[in-house]
Amino acid sequence: MADFLKLKKSNCKNCYKCIRHCPVKSIRFSGGQAHIIGDECILCGHCFVVCPQNAKEIVGSVEAVKVLLAGDAPVYASIAPSFVANYEGVGIEAMDEALRKLGFAGAEETAIGATIVKKEYERLLKEEKRDVLISSCCHSVNLLIRKYYPAALRYLADVVSPMEAHSLDIKRRYPGAKTVFIGPCVAKKDEADKSGGITDEVLTFEELTEWLASEGIELEKRREKRADSRARLFPTTGGILKTMVCDQAEYTYLAVDGVENCIAALKDIESGKLHHCFIEMSVCAGSCIGGPVMEKYHNSPVQGYVNVTEYAGEKDFPVSQLTKEQTKQRMLPIPDTNKTPSEVEIADILRQMGKTRPEHELNCGSCGYNSCREKAIAVYRGKAEISMCLPYLKDRAEDFSDTIINNTPNGILVLNETLEVQRINRAAQKILNIRNQSDVLGEQVVRILDPQDFLQVMHSGRDIREKRVYLAEYNRYVDETIMFDPQYRVLVCMLRDATEEETEREKKETIRTRTVETADKVVDKQMRVIQEIASLLGETAAETKIALTKLKESIGDE
């Protein structure tokens, strides 16, 4: 399948909203990016509509249409009947005028082809007495059946869509012409691609609007009614039934819209619960007026329905019916190539997701899958990652955080703006003599610490870093660090127990003081000894001098 829906990788924020809304889970996540799996996609466009980052884009065809217009063959536009819901106050005449300015040979309503199709449905019910007949107008429904409910394929009408019927009719009336369908549906691009040239190109309403704006062409607010235009009701829920002659008494005629309802109906059909009924199916809620390229920009289903019904007439378009062979379309099943894991492989993946017991399987759907088991199968098929499980990531992050916080030697407290304790770790409990966390969680910090420093940090916006504080109540010294997180509006306090360090410092100070005192005493004693020695030396020197003098005198007398 050609990739008509693509991802703008830079925009994808890994929010999983697209996979949550994808009815067939045809999106693969790898490296934190979403990738659409073309072989599994039914091109409903739900991911395009719901993506909050506009990360999904529809492949454009304007340049290809311009190439057609540059050729020699006349190019006619087939305008989906939902255009009156998309372009307020604009009728087919104004559309024809604007498109001719772009180079088209003319513009007609696809409702002409819808008339041909509904007549063929009537014939199948009346002449062939089909047991169950499912309308084939919605290409996404056709893909859904072919890919996921092949047992119901035999009930799908083997009839071309209104787009193809109108293209065949135009080319019958204008031999050699080219046709371009313009509507609200991305799936029609794939249908035209597979049509074998029945419809040459497809534009969305968005593409047409941008093209007209670039050329400075404005659509005139002019809408003229005509009585023979009942098929204009086709883009509304039950619109096909409103145009049909539902006179086969043995049949039940019903309309089903929305992909979930279509899936439920197909399951009933496959199980054999439904018989003798004609089912009008549309993947989009509200049918085509709820199409993905309308809903995203013109989400007014009630007003759109009113616009369509007011524009529709009460009789059929005058058409020259195509032959059975011309309207016949053979649709084959598209096989599922995905492998199914064994129970052992599923259990192993569940264990990696932290689901070791049935009660661990929350089936919350946050990853986009309906159950943990379904997610495990997607992981096995390479479509999902283990990390897509948000409860798993939350538990893992909390476990990792708890491991760090509870094993750090520093005490940690987290307070809210009203100074209520939100979290406290084991180290802080030990420092503050708190037996259980529950004793202080949710309580004012004043119960355990002086709130002054917290108030100072919160009001000034300046952190306190490693401030030595004596906690007299606990007979402890701590180095206190307090920070305020303005994003999460919380105060974080870290307490490093400095009691031993302070005790050791005091011991050293005492020893130093005693050492100084001892040294002073020793010095004083030494000075006294020196003084005493000096005094004795002085007396001895004097006596020696006297003795020597006397000896000298006695020698001199001789």
- In the chain, the domains with their CATH numbers are 60-327 (no CATH), 338-407 (1.10.15), 408-497 (3.30.450.20)
Q: Per residue in 29-55, pLDDT tens?
A: 877 788 889 899 999 988 888 888 888
Portion of the chain with pLDDT greater than 70, in percent: 96
Q: Are 86 and 55 within 8 A, CB to CB?
A: no
Residue 151 carries which DSSP code? G
Kindly indicate the confidence band of residue 298, based on its pLDDT and cuts at 50, 70 and 90.
low
Amino acid at 203: L
Residue 476 CB-half CA count within 13 A = 18
Is a pLDDT exceeding 60 seen at residue 2?
A: no
HSE-up (13 A, CA, CB side) for residue 420 = 7
Distance CA 524, CA 530 (A): 10
Residue 553: pLDDT over 90: no
Give the pLDDT confidence score for residue 506 in this predicted structure: 81
Determine which of 126-135, 204-213, 368-377, 446-455 has the lowest per-residue pLDDT on average. Answer: 368-377
- Any idea which residue has 């309580």 for tokens? 443
466: left (phi over 0), alpha (psi -120 to 50) or beta: left
What tens digit of pLDDT does each residue of 380-425 get?
Answer: 988 888 878 777 666 666 666 677 777 888 999 999 999 999 999 9
What does the radius of gyration of the chain's CA atoms come to, in whole angstroms?
44
Enumerate helices (H) and strands (E) in the chain, giving the number of each: 21, 16
Strand order in the sheet with 178-183: 106-109, 75-79, 178-183, 201-204
CA–CA distance, 191 with 43 (Å, rounded to integer): 10
Place of tokens 């378009």: 317
- Share of the chain residues as helix, strand and coil, in percent rounded to the nearest 5: 50, 15, 35
Say what the pLDDT of residue 325 is.
Answer: 93
The residues, any chain, with a CB within 8 Å of residue 431's CB and separated by 6 or more, are: 411, 471, 474, 476, 478, 495, 497
Residue 485 has pLDDT above 60, yes or no: yes
Q: Looking at residue 393, what is its pLDDT? A: 65
* Mean pLDDT, residues 84-111: 96
pLDDT at 5 over 90: no
Q: At what angle do helices 162-173 and 111-123 cross, to 10 degrees?
A: 110
Residue 207: other Cβ atoms inside 10 A: 17
Q: How far is CA 397 from CA 23, 277, 390, 403, 495, in A?
A: 30, 54, 10, 10, 23
pLDDT confidence band for 260 (50 / 70 / 90) = very high
pLDDT in tens, 178-227: 999 999 999 999 999 999 999 999 999 999 999 999 999 999 999 998 99
Has residue 525 got a pLDDT over 90? no
- Identify the DSSP state of 68: H
The angle at the Cα of 235, spanning 44 to 51, to the nearest 5 degrees, equals 30
**295 — pLDDT class (breaks 50, 70, 90):** low
